Chains A and B, each alone.
Chain A
Amino acid sequence: MTLMGEKLATIGPEMVLSVGALLCLFLGLARSARVRHATPLIAGVSLVLCIVGPMAWSAARPAAPGEIALVLGLAATPMAAFLKITIASIGLLLLLVSYRTPDQLPQNIEIERSGAAFDPGQTTRGEFFAFFLMSLAGAMLCAGADGLVWLFLALELTSLPTYIMLVTTRQSTLAREATVKYFFLGALAVAMFLYGFTLIYGATGVTQLYTTPVTEGLATVQSVVAEWRQEGQPLPLMLLVGMGLAILGISFKIAAVPMHLYTADVYQGATTPMTAFLAFVPKTAGFASLVLLLGTLGWPLPEPIAAMLWIMAVLTMTVGNVLGLMQTSVKRALAYSSIAHSGYMLVGLLAGSAAMEAGQPVVASGIAGILFYLVAYGVANLASFGVLGCLKRQGEEAETYQDISGLHHRHPWLAAIMLISLLSLIGLPPLVGFLGKIYLFAPAFFTGEPAMIWLVVIALINSAISAVYYLRIAAAIYFGQPSEEVERDEQTARMTGSGIAATAAVVLGLGAGALGLTDMLAKAADQPGKVLIQPADTDGDEAASEDRSNIPSATAGRN
């Protein structure tokens, strides 16, 4: 196997997605309607390849230590591998849910109906799926990012396509308003974390987070910080403020306080499948980035950062839940619930890998909690928005409590899917949300610090509050008067997608351990940025790479 082949295998999924995106882009402009309709299929195939490819690759060549899997700025970490598979799998479900979204646009309906002559300037099918894949690729790149530059680019690649998808998938003034808010505030957030990155670079002098392409000699943010912390020096203000700004800027993507304000408006304005997309993809990218960034500091986090995150976590879950209580629109309530769930995940971020001990055989780190919760939230969120997307009220999207009232009597299966997802969001056993919350809160609890225990208590109270509005949705579905005006949109794919997600919520809740997920998690959460597979051309130098902290000092000695 050539060196280049190895390197490219690391970004294989992203490359497959990019190629798929380009194909969608071109075929979306095809003259034949049948070819144009094949674009979602291509997107699906490329996502499947993303899942199967790496597995086949590693099955064909079990990775031995001392082999290269490090591509300039991107690292093949177990966490990245886990997140890539997660993103691709949930992306596949998202694809099912948004399979017919472009078809529902007025101009496309018009074209289909009138049989008008083909006009490449009017069709928007291919682009939608192209941007869909691009955004997923961006999220995957975030997971494997190993440098500030790369993180910045990957975050941009995640979010830029979402702006376009947001405004083009719904022809309504609401969607345009949502886009202008999302985009402009997003640009503000980008500027903020960019300034944060600048300060981090300023403090440490490097942009690489964990590993450098030049394994010998150059420092990384992690090694520099580790050295400072080892020597007991106070961390420079520039680093702390830079980290703070970077976290705050990225917290726009995860919709955490104070960068959450856009969330409800944007989720409401977006078309429902798009909302499901927005609630998962940027959030995953954001959390991956946060884990990677904070991993350079190491857990327990420095006090100022921990204090900030603590306050953010408390505010995020509380604001999300109390505002969720106030809503008359189910979509908005779920948007606020999305905020609240980010708050829960911040708990895991705070706990970090503090509870990990060497040789520990079980999942017990907050990082693992976050990774698992991303899956748990991903499926539950997708199922609930998918069900919402299956309903129409006089051709408009259903979104109020009234619209879903009595759903059980008209569409018992949609109601059951919704119920499962809501129960999972509440965190009731044996659904995946319960396991997710345990994995998130237990590590924080086991740190034994009073602040963390209080945080867990607050999180539990918040879970109880959130149950009120989730159960209100469930009550409307099961006990409300059915509304005749609401009808099911004939969307087999969308319903299948949510159905699979709901099933996954049950199956993962019972069998996360049996499916090997916990083992994967334990590996993935071992240490953010830790490259298990070392470059091949440092053979004989493994000892040095294992203990990265003495590399900079070795070179520093020569200065």
Chain B
Amino acid sequence: MSTPLSGMLLSHFLMTGAILFGLGLIGFVTRRNLIIMFLCTELMFQGVVISLVSLSLHHGNFEGQTFVIFVLTIAAAEAALALGLVVLLYRGRKTLDGTAWALLRG
């Protein structure tokens, strides 16, 4: 394994990662559809993945890339759970609106 990523280019990739992460955050708190909300967390995970791989290249080791494998696995697990939950919720209230769940408060 070879050419480490230069500081300049590294920050380019990290920048993309950060932007994806930030857009995911914004989507999470603005979109009311539960499915889209969770899609937005996946967007954040994308930001993390890109950052991890570029840092892995920069540091010349592979820990970042192996980390990505686990991130993907957990993303899949969380997605499975989230979708199961969404199905459950949808059956009861026939809506995917996240703001509809606000009985508990105060």
Q: Which residues of A contact B (CB under 8 A)?
A: 148-149, 152-153, 156, 160, 163-164, 167, 173-174, 176-181, 183-184, 187-188, 190-191, 194-195, 197-199, 201-202, 205-207, 264-266, 268-269, 326-327, 332
Contacts and interface: CB of A to CB of B under 8 A. Distances in A.
Interface in B17-57: 17, 21, 24-25, 28, 34, 37-38, 41, 44-45, 47-48, 51-52, 55
Contact of B55 (A187, A198, A265, A332): A198
B103 interface: yes
Contacts of B38: 184, 187
Contacts of A160: 77-78, 81
B105 A206 contact: no
Contacts of B81: 160, 163-164, 183
B67 A268 contact: no
A412 B3 CA distance: 74
In the A-B complex, list the 3 residue pairs whose CB atoms are closest, starting with the nearest.
A191-B44, A265-B104, A205-B59
A272 B79 CA distance: 27
A266 B44 CA distance: 24
B32 to A, nearest CB: 12
Contacts of A327: 106
A177 B98 contact: no
B8 interface: no
29 contacts: A149-B63, A160-B77, A160-B78, A160-B81, A164-B81, A167-B85, A173-B103, A174-B104, A177-B103, A180-B98, A181-B104, A183-B81, A184-B98, A190-B41, A190-B74, A194-B45, A194-B71, A195-B51, A197-B67, A201-B59, A202-B14, A202-B58, A205-B61, A206-B63, A207-B64, A264-B104, A264-B106, A265-B105, A332-B106
Given A149-B70, A187-B41, A201 B78 contact: no
A390 to B, nearest CB: 23
B82 interface: yes
Nearest to B61: A205
A126 to B, nearest CB: 18
B52 A180 contact: no
A146 B26 CA distance: 33
Nearest to B52: A198
Contacts of A152: 67, 70-71, 74
Interface in B70-106: 70-71, 74, 77-78, 81-82, 85, 88-89, 92, 98, 101-106
Contacts of A206: 59, 61, 63
B6 interface: no
A188 B48 contact: no
A160 B82 CA distance: 10
A72 to B, nearest CB: 12
Contacts of B77: 156, 160
Contacts of A326: 106
Contacts of B101: 176-177, 180-181
A269 B104 CA distance: 7
Interface residues of B, number: 42
A349 to B, nearest CB: 25
B30 to A, nearest CB: 13
B21 A191 contact: yes
Contact of A156 (B41, B59, B74, B103): B74
B67 A149 contact: yes
A207 B102 contact: no
Nearest to A205: B59
B13 to A, nearest CB: 11
A174 B71 CA distance: 31
B55 A191 contact: no
Contact of B48 (A149, A153, A174, A194): A194
Given A174-B104, A180-B85, A205-B59, A153 B14 contact: no
Contacts of A167: 85, 88
Contacts of A177: 101-104
With a 10 A CB-CB cut-off, give which of A149, A190, A194 has the most chain B CB atoms.
Answer: A194
A355 B59 CA distance: 36
B86 to A, nearest CB: 9
Nearest to A176: B89
A163 B82 CA distance: 10
A518 B96 CA distance: 52
A322 B3 CA distance: 56
A188 B35 CA distance: 14
Contacts of B85: 163, 167, 179-180, 183
Nearest to A161: B81
B43 to A, nearest CB: 9
B77 to A, nearest CB: 7
A146 B48 CA distance: 21
Nearest to A188: B28
A225 to B, nearest CB: 15
B104 A268 contact: yes
A176 B85 CA distance: 9
Contact of B44 (A195, A268, A332): A195
B63 A176 contact: no
With a 10 A CB-CB cut-off, give which of A149, A198, A205, A207 has the most chain B CB atoms.
Answer: A198
Contacts of A199: 51
Contacts of A187: 38, 41, 78, 82
A326 B51 CA distance: 44
A222 to B, nearest CB: 15
Contacts of B28: 184, 188
